Structure 1
Amino acid sequence: GTGPFKFVEWKQTDYLKVAKFDGYWKKGYPKVDTITWKPVVDNNSRAAIMQTGEAHFTFPVPYEQAEVLKGKPDLEVVAAPSIVLRYLSMNTQQKPFDNPKVRQAIAYAINKEALAKVAFNGYATPAQGVAPQGVEYAVKIGEWPYDVAKAKELMKEAGYPTGFETELWSAYNHTTAQKVTQFLQQQLQQIGIRTKITLLEAGQRVEKVESWQDPGTAPVRLYYVGWSTSTGEADWALRPLLYGESWPPKLFNTAYYKNPKVDADIKGAQLTTDGAEKAKLYKDAQETIWKDAPWAPLVVEKLLSANNKKLTGVYVIPDASFNFTEVDLR
C-alpha cells in the first residue's frame, strides 16, 4: 500500500496495532513508530483513560464528560463540524405510519433545539434538511418547526385523536442514545403516542433491522439512527436511505419509503454530468422527501474528541473518520 502505517496485529474487541511504514511517500512522515487503537464502549471508562494518561486520544468524547475533560490542564477537547445526521425513521409500509399526517405530526411534536441541549449537551444543531449542510447538493430547507398544537391537529385528521402505542427502537445502546430515546418518548406522549423503548445491541440491529428479508413483516416502527455521508455528495445521503430499491437487507431505507418521483430524481442525478441539472434533481428529491416525512430529521451532531496536549496532528474528519498521517507525540 501507500499509506503511512502498516498492519501489525488485531485482537478483536481488544486492540488494533499498526506500525510506521518506512516506504511512505511523504518525506518525514509518519513521526511515530506505532499506534494502538483500543475499543472502549463505556462512556465513563473512555473519559477516565484520558484523565489517567492511559490514552493520548479518544473519540467520541461522551457529551456529558466534555466539561470535565476541558477542565484538565493537560487535555484539549475539540468540537469539529460534521455531516453526521441523527433522525427518527418511521416504517411507512405499516399502520399508522403509512399515513403522512401521522409522520408529519411526529416531526412537529419534537423540539429539536431542546433535544440538542438535553441529549447532546449543546454539541449538536437542529437538522436543516434531509442531508446535512456541508454535503454537496444538500438543500437547506430549515428546521422542522416544533408545534404541538399542529401535531395534535394532524393526529386528529389522521384518525388518531387519542394517539396509539408503538415501538421505539434505537440503533445504539450508549448513554446518548438512552437520553435521545427518553426525550423522544416524552415528546411523543404530548400527542398521545405511547412508546416502548428498546436499545438494540449490534447483533439485534443486524437481525431485526438491517438483514430483515420480508418488508411486509418488518418489525421496525420508530427507529432512532444516524448516517454519515462519507462521500460528501448528496447521492450517498439519499440513495442508501430513501431510494425505493434500498430497503433492507439491500441497503438502509429503514422507513421502507418509496416515491417514484424521488426515485426518478435520484436516478437522474446519478446519470447526468451537468452540475446544474444534478442540483435541480437533488433539490426536487429533498423537498419531496421533506413533505412526505418518512423521517423526523433531528440533529446534526458535532464530533467531540479529546487529546493530550503533547499529541498533535490528529484530525477528526466531518464524516467521523480520522486522519493520523501527521500524528506526533512530543
Structure 2
Amino acid sequence: MISPQALEKYGKDIGFHPVGTGPYQLETWNQTDFVKVKKFAGYWQQGLPKLDSITWRPVTDNNTRAAMLQTGEAQFAFPIPYEQAALLAKNKNLELVASPSIMQRYISMNVTQKPFDNPKVREALNYAINRQALVKVAFAGYATPATGVVPPSIAYAQSYQPWPYDPAKARELLKEAGYPDGFSTTLWSSHNHSTAQKVLQFTQQQLAQIGIKARITSMDAGQRAAEVEGKGQKESGVRMFYTGWSASTGEADWALSPLFASQNWPPTQFNTAFYSNKQVDSDLAAALKTNDPQKKTRLYKEAQDIIWKESPWIPLVVEKLVSAHSKNLTGFWIMPDTGFSFDDADLK
C-alpha cells in the first residue's frame, strides 16, 4: 500500500522518495552511483536493525566487484563472477554462498514482427543454441539448462524435453521458413554486466553459425525503461531481448501472466515477445479463480504446453545464486527470487 500522504507530496516522483516500515530508511540516493540507507529508530522489532547504515553500489564489471571484496572495500557482493567463484572461496576472509534460485534467463522474440512471426524461425533459433555449453562458458557451471518457461521449483511448473543443440536442423527450418541465407536482426539486453556480455557474445556466435547476424545492444536501466518497458507494440523496436524473470510469489501465475498474457504487452507489463494466445489467456485467468489444486494443475499445464509449442522465447538457463561476504558479516541473505534479506545483518 502506498502512503497517501507521500503520494500527495511527491506525485509522479514518489518512486524516488520511498516510504515504508522497514528497518532502514533512505538517506541518500545518487542514481547510477550508490544508495545509502540509515537505521530507522522507530522500527517495530526490538533490537533491530543492528547496523547504523548500509551503502549499496552497483558495480557492473565482474573483476572490479570481486576485487572490492578481496580488498575489504565491500563486505558483500552479488552476483559473484562465476568464473572467479572458486578463487574467492579460497580466501580465508570470505565466505562463498551458492544457492538454488527461481531466476530464469531467456531471450524473447517479438512474434508480431518478421521473421519472428514464423514459428519455424522461432524453432530454428531454439535449435541453434547449445545450452550446455552456455552454462560452462557464461556461468562457469553455476546454472542449469532451462526445461520449461517456468523454473522447476515454482508451483505448477511443467518440465519438457530440452531443446537439443542441432544447427543442421536449425538451418533446415530457416530454409523452410524462406530464409535459406539467414537474416539480420537486433539482440537487446536488459543487463550490461560482464556475465550478460558473455551470454550475448555466445548467442551471437551461435546464431552466426546458422546465418543470423545479430547486432547487440546492452541497455542500462534508463534505456530499458524508455525503449522496452515504455513503448507499446506499434512503437517498439524490440526484436530479440535477453533478460530474466523470477516469480517472487513462488507460483505459476506470476511466472506466466506478466510475460505471456495478451493484456500484458508493454507498457503494461513485461510480455516483450508481444505473445498472444486466447487459450493461454483463458487458462491463466481461470487458474486464478479456482482453489482446486487439480484444476490449477490442469490449467497451468495446458497454458505451458501451448507456450512451449509456440516458442515465443528461447529459454536459456536457470541460474544459481552465487554471493560472497566478509566472514565478519552475518545475517545477510539472498532470497530465491534474487531479493535481499538484511533485517538481521550485523558486522562484527
- Alignment partner of 1:219 is 2:237: yes
Aligned to 1:154: 173
Aligned partner of residue 140 in structure 1, secondary structure: coil
TM-aligned CA deviation for residue 294 of structure 1: 0.2
CA separation in 2, counterparts of 1:183 and 1:41? Answer: 19
- Alignment partner of 1:295 is 2:313: yes
**Are 2:36 and 2:53, in contact at CA under 8 Å, matched by a contact in 1?**
yes
TM-score when normalising by structure 2? 0.89
Give the unaligned 5+ runs of structure 2.
1-19
- Counterpart amino acid of residue 42 in structure 1: D
Aligned partner of residue 160 in structure 1, secondary structure: coil
- Alignment partner of 1:304 is 2:322: yes
- Alignment partner of 1:133 is 2:157: no
Aligned to 2:118: 99
CA separation in 2, counterparts of 1:186 and 1:5? Answer: 45
**Once structures 1 and 2 are overlaid, which stretch shifts more, 93-102 or 202-211?**
202-211
Aligned to 1:144: 163
**Are 1:172 and 1:201, in contact at CA under 8 Å, matched by a contact in 2?**
yes
Within a 5 Å distance, the mapping from 1:1-330 to structure 2 comes to 3-21=22-40, 24-213=43-232, 215-330=233-348
CA separation in 1, counterparts of 2:226 and 2:43? Answer: 41
TM-score when normalising by structure 1? 0.93
- Counterpart amino acid of residue 41 in structure 1: T
TM-aligned CA deviation for residue 187 of structure 1: 1.0
**Are 1:93 and 1:216, in contact at CA under 8 Å, matched by a contact in 2?**
no
**Are 1:242 and 1:253, in contact at CA under 8 Å, matched by a contact in 2?**
yes
Inter-CA distance 31–208: structure 2 relative to 1 (3 Å threshold)? closer
Give the unaligned 5+ runs of structure 1.
none
Aligned partner of residue 272 in structure 1, secondary structure: coil
TM-aligned CA deviation for residue 111 of structure 1: 0.6
Aligned partner of residue 241 in structure 1, secondary structure: helix
TM-aligned CA deviation for residue 25 of structure 1: 4.7
TM-aligned CA deviation for residue 287 of structure 1: 0.9
TM-aligned CA deviation for residue 202 of structure 1: 2.4
- Output one character per residue of 1:26-56: Cα deviation in whole Å (capped at 9) or x when no partner: 4544333332223333322221111111111
RMSD over aligned Cα atoms: 1.8
Give the fraction of aligned pairs with identical amino acids, expressed as a percent: 60
